[in-house]
Amino acid sequence: MHQSAFTRTLRTIAGWLVVGAFFFPIYFWTSVAFRDAKDIFNWPPIFFGFQPTVRNFEQVFGISLGFGFGSQETVTPGGGNFYMGPRLWDSIVVASFSTVLAIVVATLASYALSRMHFRGRHEFVNWVLSTRMMPPVAVAIPMFFIFKQFNLLDTYTGVILVHGLMNLPLAVLLLKSFFDDIPAEIDESALLDGASRWTIFRRIVLPMAKGGIAATAVLCFIFSWTEFLFVLTLTQTGLKTVPVVSSTFVTSIGTAWGNMAALGAAAIVPAFIVILLVQRHLVRGLTMGSLKQ
């Protein structure tokens, strides 16, 4: 279809505006991470041309650049200690293992729901969906008591379990839709050839659903990465994830915006890496089911 030069220019400008609207907050937040406190609240605001510094990163990760690891005892004049290196590790552990947990269980469950016809199957799917309707805050307090009873409070196992369970309904529903898109005739052909259900699942269906599993895993990872309430309620000093420790930059004498931005900017990286790793499958997964035969 022929487009006039004016239309093309307009489309390009619109495209750049949309990209800019999404990219600008990330740029600005990241640029705050590289500013001294006195350069953050300039009026009028400075978007470029400030004196960059890595001081915020040094404080947050205890790394004195070029001088090896610094000390956890680094204290700002207000007495704040913003050493958060281990907390980033906590986030990576929790998000990774809870994603694995959710995906393993959800893959098996959703395959069964997609292929096996048993009484109450639809009700079961509705029940799975309904657990997502419950506000997390309604569950957090009872969870606290249960976890305390089972010594799961303030442990990796506890938080991984709760994040895994939190993501399970969504993962089951998403994966079920992906499995539904794979023709059942393939399973039936394999059955006729003598393959067991497990073999069909492992050797045939699972490889075909790789894209969908990758897309679901990314969503589970991101939900765990950004989850706040459960970690706040179910942890004390043993571990904390990035969203919860980010709130500790709010001190009694103000907010350490530069440090908060440094942690936030650094926290984008692991999630970004996960997405890059599965990117090849992700596009396929996100478009799976968009065309019906």
Partner 1 sequence: MKEKDRKFYLASVTDRFVRGQMDRRSFLRTAGTLGLGATALGMGFGSRPFGVTRALAQEQLQPSAEVLSWLKDVAKPFAGTTLKLATESTPPSNAINSQLKKYFEEATGIRVEIEVLPLEQVLQKLTLDVASSLGSYDLYYIDQSWSASFSEDVFDPREQLQEKPDLAMPNYNIDDFMPALVDGIAKYGDRWVGVPYDIPIFIMIYRKDIYEKLGLKAPATFEDLLNNSVAITKEMGPNLYGYAGQMKSGHYALECEWTSMLWGNGGSIFNADKKFVGNDERGIAALDYYTRLKEAMPPGVDQWTWDGQGQAIAQGVAASMLSWGEFFPYFDDASQTKVSGLCEAVVPPQPVALRKPEECGYGEIPGVGHQGGSSLAVSRYSKSPDAAWIFMQWATCADTQALITTLGGGTGPTRASVYDDPRVKANARVGAGTTRHLSVVRETIDKYMGSEPDLPEWAQLSSDTIPVGLGKYFAGSYGSSKEAMDDIASQVETVLKG
Residues that bind partner 1 (CB under 8 A): 36-38, 41-43, 55, 58-59, 64-67, 70-81, 141, 144-145, 148, 153, 232-233, 236-237, 247-255
Give the CA angle between residues 161, 225, 114 to the nearest 5°.
Answer: 60
Which amino acid is residue 243, in one-letter code? P
Residue 37 or 219: the one with the smaller Cβ distance to partner 1 is: 37
Residue 59 or 99: the one with the smaller Cβ distance to partner 1 is: 59
Closest approach of Cβ 239 to partner 1, in Å? 11
Residue 75 or 104: the one with the smaller Cβ distance to partner 1 is: 75
Closest approach of Cβ 96 to partner 1, in Å? 24
Residue 34 or 201: the one with the smaller Cβ distance to partner 1 is: 34
Which amino acid is residue 273, in one-letter code? I
Q: How many CB atoms lie within 10 A of CB 196?
A: 11
Tokens found for residue 212: 């969908």
Closest approach of Cβ 2 to partner 1, in Å? 50
Nearest to 165 by CA among 176, 153, 157: 157
Residue 6 or 43: the one with the smaller Cβ distance to partner 1 is: 43
Closest approach of Cβ 25 to partner 1, in Å? 18
Residue 114 or 233: the one with the smaller Cβ distance to partner 1 is: 233
In angstroms, rounded to a whole number, what is the distance separating the alpha carbons of residues 237 and 242? 14
Q: How many CB atoms lie within 10 A of CB 55?
A: 18
In angstroms, rounded to a whole number, what is the distance separating the alpha carbons of residues 195 and 201? 10
Closest approach of Cβ 230 to partner 1, in Å? 13
Nearest to 263 by CA among 279, 285, 241: 241
Q: How many CB atoms lie within 10 A of CB 212?
A: 26
Closest approach of Cβ 95 to partner 1, in Å? 21
